[in-house]
Structure 1
Amino acid sequence: MTYNITLILGDGIGPEVVNSARRIIEATGISIDWDIVEAGDVAMKKHGTPLPAFVIDSIRENGVALKGPITTPVGRGFKSVNVRLRQELELFANVRPIKSFNGIDSLHQGVDLIIVRENTEDLYAGIEHMVGGEAAESIKIITRKASERICRFAFELARSQNRKKVTLVHKANIMKLSDGLFLECGNRCAEKYDDILFEDMIVDAMSMKLVQFPQNYDIIVAPNLYGDILSDLSAGLIGGLGLAAGANIGHDIAVFEPVHGSALDISGKGIANPTSAILSGIMLLKHIGEFEPARRIEDALAQVFEDESNRTPDLGGDLGTKEFTQRIIDKMME
């Protein structure tokens, strides 16, 4: 069987890390027809838009995409391609597994949790305006439909992975209507999943608890902004964004991507850590039902990390992107 998958190389180090993941996936022997398309800064320069219509069309047709990091201008320029993709394709769930690796120096070991973030609304709806040149207003949108959908997704994910607890994050003590609605939806959803423990936690307390005891958590579900912040915080607990994967999932479409930025300062130097892209590729394989190839890559990556000589510069080593990639492929072939 041949799979049709959209491949978005991205900006900066995107092509380097995505092609690393591509090499490793292909080394498993799976037949994939990659539809390579451009988005981000390179597309802006070539097509006059950072997100050409053919990119959306390709993802819709194939249903699955592997995407590199895309630069988003700060305070100016075009709107976030990532946010537009999520909104246009209704990729309502951002899924970020956070799992520590043996052999990697990090603040914590034994971490194995998943953050599920609502992807389409909250402050990220992008509804903001200036008021008389002296103030800016940004509108926080929380709907019952989106809140119920993401809570249901979190519980179904917990059940499918034999996870025991879902923790809902909010700030309903202050934002009693918006976050209060999110919490209400979570409580109602939990009633239908009596086999799974449920708790809620205020976001500032959640931040502290994650830093102290991340091993105590299984699946965390949160509105968009809190989920974004907690995802990066949690990645820092296991060694950084270079060791965490990400997926944006809708009803019929899924886009998998490394969670770090485009790192323009090291672009083209061949030293980028491709682990996040590789882990995203593993998630992609599981999504399409290729569990055995995913396991082979997962096992090889874990074994490579157990050897302290197998480190890219961000982890204190001197292996380049291609060399690190080859070490994983070699381990898979043993």
Structure 2
Amino acid sequence: MYNITLIPGDGIGPEVTDSARKIIDATGVNIKWDVVNAGASVYEKRGVLVPDEVYSSIEKNKIVLKGPITTPIGCGFRSINVMLRKKYDLFANIRPVKKINGLVTPFNDIDLVIFRENTEGLYSGVENQRDNDTAEAIKIITRKASMRIAREAFIYAKNNNKCKVAVVHKANIMKLTDGLFLDCVREVSIDFPEIELQEVIVDNMCMQLVMNPSKYEVIVTTNLYGDILSDLCAGLIGGLGLVPGANIGNDIAIFEAVHGSAPDIAGKNLANSIAVILSGAMMLNYIGEKEKSNLIINAVHKTISEGKYLTKDLGGTASTTDMTDAIIENLR
């Protein structure tokens, strides 16, 4: 039996995580769910964004399935998600982006994975107010963080029969910070001579991805660029509701969708739960349940390709419950 922490989150979080939980349980995998919560809804009731029991559960179980969380404006952390990634040193943010048959999109052959360094760079939010008219952000890039995310990307490529890894940077201008990141990726690539290293400046990568995304298989990049590129790539396959994510550290892993809490449709049984479901599939693969993971992925793809039970954002009229039930049926 696996002990796994479940954080429902805010907005549509409880609905989409409940959908994912039902589908995961339908595979027959033996999981004891430890349900704890954090975010705006908890803050309203208890005056704390992340209760102690959330930390205790994460540290005990090591594996987490998490819904989207809203950080209230004007109090607490800049971002609960960023705080958890830094607290537990979840250095690898992994976001697969794959075209699903049945959805009309500009490209039919997108199948790439983004490896985003998750703990430093501009996105980590180190800022100073120098005076009333001047604010500054500090971009910190370290050899340690750069080397380990690069190695994760190349190991993934090797283990999954990928031929290319693209490093995305702006070292032509940010010669010290992005230059260090680029040098680290180059250094790691030497250990993987069978894998081609593609070096792409970030603005050019944005253009390439909307013109010829099939050129890329694995992308490794810094924190902010990775966040931007993963949203761009999500748009190429039908939206954020289809993109799962994993935050991996040395001994703790948190799996979550890329999208936010969508409070405007919360509680209406309208939310697309695919991204969290696929995040759950990534989680099962991570804990060694690859067969059950593939069952879920195949059932999701079959449900979408059939086109009968699609939520509104995917061009259909189905409810969250309808889509969940259809995926469970296709598991069989």
Return the TM-score normalized by structure 1: 0.97
> What is the RMSD computed on CA atoms of the aligned residues?
1.0
Q: Distance in 2 between matches of 1:213 and 1:239?
A: 16
Structure 1 residue 330 and structure 2 residue 311: aligned? no
Q: Distance in 2 between matches of 1:125 and 1:279?
A: 26
Q: Distance in 2 between matches of 1:207 and 1:276?
A: 23
- Which runs of structure 1 show a deviation greater than 4 angstroms over 4 or more consecutive aligned residues? none
When the two structures are aligned, how many residues end up with a matched partner?
331
CA contact (8 A) 2:309 2:322 kept: no
The code of the aligned residue for 1:254 comes to A
SS at match of 2:65: strand
Deviation at 1:6, TM superposition (A): 0.3
Q: Distance in 2 between matches of 1:320 and 1:196?
A: 43
5+ residue gaps, structure 2:
none
Q: Distance in 2 between matches of 1:100 and 1:289?
A: 25
Deviation string for 1:72-118 (max 9, x for gaps)? 346x3332000000000100000000000001111211110000000
Structure 1 residue 281 and structure 2 residue 276: aligned? no
Q: Distance in 2 between matches of 1:47 and 1:163?
A: 48
The code of the aligned residue for 2:75 comes to G
Counterpart in 2 of 1:201?
200
CA contact (8 A) 1:107 1:239 kept: no
Q: Distance in 2 between matches of 1:43 and 1:161?
A: 40
CA contact (8 A) 2:64 2:253 kept: yes
Aligned residues with identical type, % of pairs: 53
Q: Distance in 2 between matches of 1:329 and 1:80?
A: 34
Listed as ranges, the matches of 1:143-222 within 5 Å are 143-222=142-221
Mean alpha-carbon deviation: is it higher for 85-94 or for 308-317? 308-317
Counterpart in 1 of 2:253?
254
Counterpart in 2 of 1:59?
58
CA contact (8 A) 1:94 1:249 kept: yes
5+ residue gaps, structure 1:
none
Counterpart in 2 of 1:84?
83
Counterpart in 1 of 2:37?
38
Deviation at 1:30, TM superposition (A): 1.1
Q: Distance in 2 between matches of 1:207 and 1:237?
A: 12
Q: Distance in 2 between matches of 1:62 and 1:149?
A: 24
Q: Distance in 1 between matches of 2:160 and 2:283?
A: 16
Counterpart in 1 of 2:46?
47
Deviation at 1:31, TM superposition (A): 1.1
Counterpart in 2 of 1:26?
25
Deviation at 1:155, TM superposition (A): 0.7
SS at match of 1:137: strand
Mean alpha-carbon deviation: is it higher for 233-242 or for 129-138? 129-138
Q: Distance in 1 between matches of 2:100 and 2:72?
A: 33
Q: Distance in 2 between matches of 1:48 and 1:160?
A: 45
Q: Distance in 1 between matches of 2:83 and 2:121?
A: 14
Q: Distance in 2 between matches of 1:73 and 1:114?
A: 31
